[in-house]
Amino acid sequence: MTPSEDFVVTDRGGIVENSHRVHAAVVDAKGRLLYALGDPARMTLARSAAKPAQALAILETEGVERFGFDDADVALMCASHSSEERHIARTRAMLSKIKAEEADLRCGGHPSLSETVNRAWIRRDFAPTAVCSNCSGKHVGMLAGARAIGAGMEDYHLPDHPMQGRVKRTVAELCDLDAQDVEWGIDGCNLPTPAFPLDRLARLYAKLAAADGDDARTDLPARDAALARIFRAMVRYPEMVAGEGRYCTALMRAYNGALIGKLGADASYAIGVRASDETRRLGADGALGISVKIEDGNVEILYAVVTEILERLGIASPDIRSQLAAFHHPQRVNTMGVTTGGVSFPFKLRGSVPGEGASRLVAPAR
């Protein structure tokens, strides 16, 4: 098959091995589509990329204030963490802040997202439990929210629980959608997870970045202040959002406060970029949001594509490039150390704003 404009291709000795269809949307906080790839409106299960929106619903219960959660706790609410000791310890500390126990969590244990952690677990025959879930922070947050609004803690994870009703409204509002236009499935961690057009995910992240961009103001509306708190918590504690060696952590460290990035399972990704000369050059009215979905759910390819898109958009310095190179160009090396092939990006970002920037973006960077 001839790779089309929407594909990433892996090769072996120059022969096409696999190809992966890519969808992406680049928007500003008003939702204007600036660049697109594949189907930017693809109905997409955001999975854990929706966590900052779920965290906003928790912040708006005032449970975070009431139980004294700090910014690292907020970062953990937005996390798909690697179940490192620091993540598990923080989960336990958050549980004790709300006088809850591990048994109150409605998520289950699973192998760590970190191979290093997994190997250590296997060596000591450790069977991971609920506090080890990569979504543990979100779950404790939901418990805190349920308690703050005076709802039962038992069924906080069920779609008809008042806390999840708040999440549904919040997600729809951040996406500028009617609630009935957001669809819901059940996530791997057992909480409801939303699906909406991919460009709305980018819009949501642009709003997170835009709220933080207003940090000179002290009179922010409450929602914007909460969005700004989430943005800052993530950039301040990138190690809480994922873990050592993981992409989200490396990305946010490399960009040093300029953006947040979050993975969703089955290969969705969202980025919110603070307003800058670069975002305005790209046609944004301030902050920028980027969302990506690999049609087949391949996460290794996702990381490569996200990094390539940042480079195409011209918002990657040489220093940033070097920090993300291993994700951008994943090694195709065999068991004897011989390079057998690589990953290439024949796709084209389509500029959606007439006359703006499209010409330098259509061609691959190399």
| Interaction of residue 185 with its own copies, rule CB under 8 A | yes
> Do 112 and 143 touch, CB atoms closer than 8 A?
no
Q: Which segment (27-35, 144-152, 334-342, 347-355) binds its own copies by CB under 8 A?
A: 334-342
| Interaction of residue 199 with its own copies, rule CB under 8 A | no
| Interaction of residue 123 with its own copies, rule CB under 8 A | yes
CB nearer its own copies, residue 116 or residue 256? 116
Chosen residue from 22, 29, 33, 45 binding its own copies by CB under 8 A: 45
Site for its own copies in 207-226 (CB under 8 A): none
Cα 53 to Cα 32, 47, 91, 259, 316, distances in angstroms: 20, 11, 19, 16, 26
> Do 233 and 75 touch, CB atoms closer than 8 A?
yes
CB nearer its own copies, residue 196 or residue 237? 196
| Interaction of residue 17 with its own copies, rule CB under 8 A | yes
3-state DSSP helix/strand/coil % of the chain, to nearest 5:
45, 20, 40
Give the residue among 222, 314, 326, 207 at the shortest CA–CA distance from 270: 207
Chosen residue from 53, 57, 148, 189 binding its own copies by CB under 8 A: 189
| Interaction of residue 61 with its own copies, rule CB under 8 A | no
CA distance 268 to 266: 6
| Interaction of residue 43 with its own copies, rule CB under 8 A | yes
Q: Which segment (95-103, 118-126, 170-178, 344-352) binds its own copies by CB under 8 A?
A: 118-126
| Interaction of residue 119 with its own copies, rule CB under 8 A | yes
CB nearer its own copies, residue 19 or residue 61? 19
* Rg of the Cα atoms in the chain: 20
Q: State which H helix or E strand residue 186 sits in.
A: strand 183-186
| Interaction of residue 163 with its own copies, rule CB under 8 A | no
> Do 212 and 252 touch, CB atoms closer than 8 A?
no
Give the residue among 299, 235, 313 at the shortest CA–CA distance from 8: 299
Chosen residue from 239, 266, 308, 311 binding its own copies by CB under 8 A: 266
In this structure, what are the phi and psi dihedrals at residue 53, rounded to the nearest 5 degrees? -70, -40
What is the nearest approach in angstroms of its own copies to the Cβ of residue 289? 21
CB nearer its own copies, residue 13 or residue 354? 13
Tell me the two tokens of residue 22: 């890519």
CB nearer its own copies, residue 189 or residue 228? 189
As a three-state string, the secondary structure of 189-212 is CCCEEEEEEHHHHHHHHHHHHHHH
Chosen residue from 187, 199, 212, 239 binding its own copies by CB under 8 A: 187
CB nearer its own copies, residue 6 or residue 28? 6
What is the nearest approach in angstroms of its own copies to the Cβ of residue 246? 19
Question: Alpha helices of the chain — where are they, by DSSP H?
Answer: 51-59, 63-66, 71-77, 85-97, 115-123, 136-148, 162-174, 198-213, 222-236, 238-241, 247-255, 277-281, 299-312, 318-328, 358-361
Please list the residues that pair with 233 across neighbouring strands.
none
| Interaction of residue 106 with its own copies, rule CB under 8 A | yes
Chosen residue from 40, 52, 109, 137 binding its own copies by CB under 8 A: 109
SS3 272: strand
| Interaction of residue 273 with its own copies, rule CB under 8 A | no
> Do 8 and 347 touch, CB atoms closer than 8 A?
yes
| Interaction of residue 137 with its own copies, rule CB under 8 A | no
- x-or-dash string of contact with its own copies, 301-330, rule CB under 8 A: ------------------------------
CB nearer its own copies, residue 42 or residue 232? 42
Cβ-proximal residues to 12 (8 Å cutoff; 6+ apart), any chain: 332, 340, 341
Judged by the rule CB under 8 A, the positions of this chain that interact with its own copies are 1, 10, 12-21, 39, 42-43, 45, 106-110, 119, 122-123, 125, 133, 183-190, 193, 195, 266-267, 295-298, 334-338, 340-341
